[in-house]
Amino acid sequence: MRRAHTVSQVRDAEADLMRTLPEGTLMQRAASGLAHAVLDLLGGGYGHRVLLLVGSGDNGGDALYAGCALLRRGARVEALLLGSNHHEEGLVALRAAGGGVVDDVADAHRPDVVVDGIVGIGGRGGLRPAAVAALDAVAGVPVVAVDVPSGVGVDTGELEGPHVVADLTVTFGTHKVAHLVGPAAGACGVVHLVELGLDLPTAAVEALQAADVAALVPRPAPDDHKYSRGVVGVRAGSDTYPGAALLCVAGAGSGLVGMVRYVGSAADQVRASHPEVVGDGRVQAWVVGPGGGDEAEVQLAAALADGVPVLVDADGLAHVRPGQAAVLTPHAGELARMLGIDRETVEARPLAHARLAAERYDAVLLLKGRHTLVVAPDGRTRVTTTGLPWLATAGAGDVLSGLIGALLAAGLAPWDAASVGSWLHGAAATLASGGGPLVAGDVAAALPAVVRSLR
């Protein structure tokens, strides 16, 4: 599990650890990890030029001490001081090791890499003009951020103004929320974690990894039969959108349950493409809404009458009420309509609005996006980090809904079903894509291979 903690959680854990260590030990550990990451990026130190952008606080100190280590490896290191109250011991050490201090980027040699030590994890509200000007002056040079890209909302994943866009972020002790949650996650580049040995509480946000998914994916026991493995029902599609029914059934019928039932106006097309799918009957979960159009309200009412967990997507979301559904799976535009706000507001603050909707609707809320969020009504949050941009294709959400519905029918709790389904969906897209274009049906076809690959 990849876990992300808040600023206050990290600071408390650091304070506890520092009471057991000699003064300055944690900063030296962080600086050493930062220096090694920069050396890996450069392919060595000798002859390379490094510019440190140094602000106030401990991140600036980390950058300065990392500069000392880079100097010992043959790099040429210069520091531009931004703000006030710089880490004096680190600055003295840098100068003693042969590093230089410049008053302006124009006074520095053109660097091979820039180290962003401008603002630490306690920073708020974007960057000041001097920092923005310095970054503009080195545009095009790779940037390594210390802990988080300066200027991003560390605990929220929001972008509150001008900010660093890093190629590599070197973080310490644990991931922070901004490393996983968009839109800030998009500014982090590759994230490298340097362990510090912190004793941390329950994470604010987490991301499943392959081993976690392998432990959660339902697998048939030797004495299972098609009914005991779970039966999922699909009420999707319409005369206008029969393809949504086909794709939703394809996701549901990826082999994770013993049977798929379909009820709807696209029954003939579904049977022609999926002869193993049967008609109405008892189920352990329903999927409602994809392509439902004018039929979605009736589809939802029929599913709710069975008293089993219901996943609601797409057209069904306009009709669902608080407490009715187990899982809701909107994209940003649909969530905006559910909350009575505009899409841009949701996209600027996805975590806050996903948590608001999960609480308001008393359901697990899956907000689709570059880093899909899965939020429980009590605020527990998982982020999906599998997938790739090619997954933004028509019908992919229909496949996802069917897949999550199957996991619900197989017995997973709604939060696990949604987060496991989202992870598998992203992994299947990556496998099917091979780095190139794909369509939604390719994702469904790749799901069994992804499950087989899990150990």
Task: Output the pLDDT for position 83.
Answer: 81
Q: How much is the pLDDT for 405?
A: 98
pLDDT at 123: 75
On the question of a common fold for 2-207 and 210-453, the answer reads no
CB 116 within 8 A of CB 166: yes
Longest dimension (CA), the chain: 79
Strand intervals (E) in 195-244: 205-207, 231-235
The pLDDT value recorded for residue 166 is: 97
| CATH architecture of residue range(s) 2-207 | 3-Layer(aba) Sandwich (3.40)
Pair 322, 304: CB distance under 8 Å:
no
Q: From CA 62, how far away is CA 110, in angstroms rounded?
A: 22
291 to each of 237, 324, 417, how far by Cα in Å?
Answer: 4, 20, 22
With CA atoms as reference, report the closest residue to 74 among 51, 49, 56, 92. Answer: 49
CB 4 within 8 A of CB 177: yes
List pLDDT tens digits, range 99-122. Answer: 999 988 887 789 999 999 999 887
Helix ranges (DSSP H) in 43-159: 58-72, 88-96, 129-137
The answer to whether the beta carbons of residues 78 and 109 sit under 8 Å apart is yes
260 within 8 A of 225, measured Cβ to Cβ: no
Q: Which class for 38: exposed (0-12), middle (13-18), buried (19 or more C-beta within 10 A)?
A: buried
| Rounded Cα gap, residues 30 and 9, in angstroms | 18
pLDDT of residue 85: 82
Residues 6+ apart with CB under 8 A from 300: 235, 288, 289, 310, 312, 316, 319, 320, 324
Q: Say if CB 312 and CB 288 are below 8 A apart.
A: yes
Q: Which residues of 151-186 are buried (b: 16+ CB within 10 A; e: fewer)?
A: bbbbbbbbbbebbbebebbbbbbbbbbbbbbbbbbe
Q: What is the pLDDT of residues 41-96, one digit of tens each?
A: 999 999 999 999 999 888 899 999 999 999 999 999 999 999 888 889 999 999 99
Pick the CATH number of 210-453 from 3.40.190.10, 3.30.465.10, 3.40.109.10, 3.40.1190.20: 3.40.1190.20
* Residue matched to tokens 């030990």: 25
Along the 455 residues of the chain, how does pLDDT read in single tens digits?
A: 999 999 999 999 999 988 998 988 989 999 999 999 999 999 999 999 999 999 988 889 999 999 999 999 999 999 999 988 888 999 999 999 999 999 888 877 899 999 999 998 877 778 999 999 999 999 999 999 999 999 999 999 999 899 999 999 999 999 999 999 999 999 999 999 999 999 999 998 999 999 999 999 999 999 989 999 999 999 999 999 999 999 999 999 999 999 999 999 999 999 999 999 999 999 999 999 999 999 999 999 999 999 999 999 999 999 999 999 999 999 999 999 999 999 999 999 999 999 999 999 999 999 999 899 999 999 999 999 999 999 999 999 999 999 999 999 999 999 999 999 999 999 999 999 999 999 999 999 999 999 999 97
- Mark out the alpha helices in 162-279 (DSSP H runs): 177-180, 210-216, 242-252, 267-273
d(CA 252, CA 244): 12
Residue type, 4: A
Domain spans in the chain, listed from the N-terminal domain onward = 2-207, 210-453
pLDDT at residue 147 in the model: 95
Give the model's pLDDT for residue 424: 98
Rounded CA separation 177/204 (Å): 7
